[in-house]
């Protein structure tokens, strides 16, 4: 079946089950699901029930679309996202973003866990993305272009929305939360980087490294959706600080920063005007 028809079928199924029309789409990263607790939930759909939706495989991802009100605004949240390293194609990874756009979202907010390459960063700090470097080996836009959804050669000169970045910084100051603003580099994973690779990524100009967010942002920007993305820095990846990382440590560091990150996301949506 044509990709666009799959997207439309998934959208139609969701609309047949859920009345709420979401204005904000939210994608929550590894260990960062707590924002969901702030949502006045109206409906939940398991990924496995939605036609053509990929099904999440990693055990700590629950795999649900959650519809409800956050700060009084209608939102749809992906609890559990798809990563390229799980074996999905980039079309599958970004399928839910296409569907959220057709459901009506006007802005996309993303969180992720990332390694800190910038030596000014500390574990469990937050970094707002102002730009990214795509080092992933498959691009979600390769193939026949879905002209109804966006351009063949979409502009990427401002991938992350400057107004949202500004507002998030102000919110962080008000809440005395330490946030950085920087460049995220997206890699395939699933292995973490070698010391030589961390050094290279820093030389390339990145402040943080992770295995997500870039494909979602590319697809959202192709559809002209403003994007806000924020990383929780779960491990230090600069010379002298590189230590063996375990996924449990990454999740623990993410959970520590989660309340501050959640606050920023919630306030950003509460204060937003379209
Ligand atoms: N590298 C890549 N992805 C990551 C890292 C890292 O060090 N930490 C969390 N996600």
CA distance 99 to 26: 13
At residue 111, the 3 state secondary structure works out as strand
Nearest CA to ligand 1 atom 6: 115
- Atom 3 of ligand 1, nearest CA residue: 210
Looking at the CA of residue 210, tell me the nearest atom of ligand 1.
3
210 ligand 1 Cβ < 6 A: yes
**What is the 47 CA–ligand 1 centroid distance (Å)?**
25
Q: What's residue 60's pLDDT?
A: 45
- Ligand 1 center–CA 89 separation, angstroms: 20
Cα separation, 169 vs 133, whole angstroms:
22
2-271 CATH, one of 3.40.50.1580, 1.20.1300.10, 3.30.830.10, 3.60.21.10? 3.40.50.1580
Q: How far apart are CA 38 and CA 64, in angstroms?
A: 16
| 214 within ligand 1 shell (Cβ under 6 A) | no
Tokens representing 151 are: 């351009």
By C-alpha distance, which of 207, 210, 200 is closest to 180?
207
Ligand 1 pocket member 186 (CB < 6 A): no
Q: What is residue 141's predicted lDDT score, i.e. its pLDDT? A: 97
pLDDT per 10-residue tile (average), the chain, 274 residues: 93 98 94 87 95 72 87 94 92 97 98 96 96 98 95 97 97 95 97 95 97 98 98 91 83 89 94 90
Q: CB of 115 closer than 6 A to ligand 1?
A: yes
- The predicted pLDDT at position 11 comes to 98
Number of CB atoms found within 10 A of residue 246's CB: 11
Q: Which atom of ligand 1 is nearest to the CA of 116?
A: 7
Mutate to test the pocket of ligand 1, among 245, 249, 251, 256 (most ligand atoms within 8 A of CB): 245
Q: Which atom of ligand 1 is nearest to the CA of 237?
A: 7
- Ligand 1 and 111: CB distance under 6 A: no
Q: Which of 111, 136, 234 for mutating ligand 1's site (highest number of atoms within 8 Å of CB)? A: 234
CA of 154 to the centre of ligand 1 (A): 28
pLDDT at 56: 63
Mapped onto helix, strand or coil, the DSSP state of residue 178 is coil
Q: How many angstroms does the Cα of residue 114 sit away from the middle of ligand 1?
A: 5
Q: Where exactly are the structural domains of the chain?
A: 2-271
pLDDT at 262: 93
Burial (CB count <10 Å: 0-12, 13-18, 19+), residue 248: exposed
What is the pLDDT, as a whole number, of residue 61?
52
Q: Whose CA is nearest to atom 10 of ligand 1?
A: 114
CA of residue 187 to ligand 1 center, whole Å: 9
Q: What is the pLDDT of residue 58?
A: 58
Q: Residue 187: what pLDDT?
A: 98
Write the residue with the smallest CA distance to atom 2 of ligand 1: 210
Could you tell me the sign of the dihedral formed by the alpha carbons of 46, 50, 88, 193, in that order?
A: negative
**What residues contact residue 184 under an 8 Å CB cut-off, 6+ apart?**
112, 114, 127, 129, 131, 132, 133, 206, 207, 208, 209, 210, 213, 214, 229, 231
């Amino acid at each position: 079946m044509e990709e666009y028809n799959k997207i439309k079928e998934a959208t139609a199924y969701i609309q047949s089950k859920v009345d709420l029309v979401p204005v904000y789409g939210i994608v929550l990263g590894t260990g960062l699901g707590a924002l969901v607790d702030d949502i006045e939930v109206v409906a939940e759909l398991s990924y496995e029930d939605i036609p053509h939706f990929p099904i999440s495989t990693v055990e700590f991802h629950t795999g649900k679309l959650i519809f409800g009100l956050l700060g009084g605004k209608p939102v749809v949240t992906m609890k559990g996202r798809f990563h390229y390293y799980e074996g999905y194609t980039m079309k599958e990874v970004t399928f839910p973003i296409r569907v959220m756009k057709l459901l009506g979202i006007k802005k996309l907010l993303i969180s992720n866990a990332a390694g800190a390459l910038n030596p000014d960063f500390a574990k469990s700090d937050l970094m707002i993305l102002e730009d990214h470097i795509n080092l992933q080996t498959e691009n979600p836009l390769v193939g026949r272009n879905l002209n109804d959804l966006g351009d063949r050669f979409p502009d990427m000169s401002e991938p992350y929305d400057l107004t949202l970045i500004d507002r998030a910084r102000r919110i962080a100051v008000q809440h005395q939360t330490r946030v950085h603003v920087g460049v995220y580099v997206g890699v395939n994973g699933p292995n973490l980087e070698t010391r030589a690779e961390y050094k290279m990524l820093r030389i390339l100009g990145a402040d943080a490294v992770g295995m997500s967010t870039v494909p979602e942002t590319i697809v959202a920007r192709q559809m002209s959706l403003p994007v806000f993305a924020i990383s929780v820095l779960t491990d230090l990846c600069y010379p002298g600080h590189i230590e063996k990382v375990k996924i449990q440590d990454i999740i623990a560091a993410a959970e520590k920063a989660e309340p501050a990150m959640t606050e920023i996301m919630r306030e950003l949506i509460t204060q937003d005007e379209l």
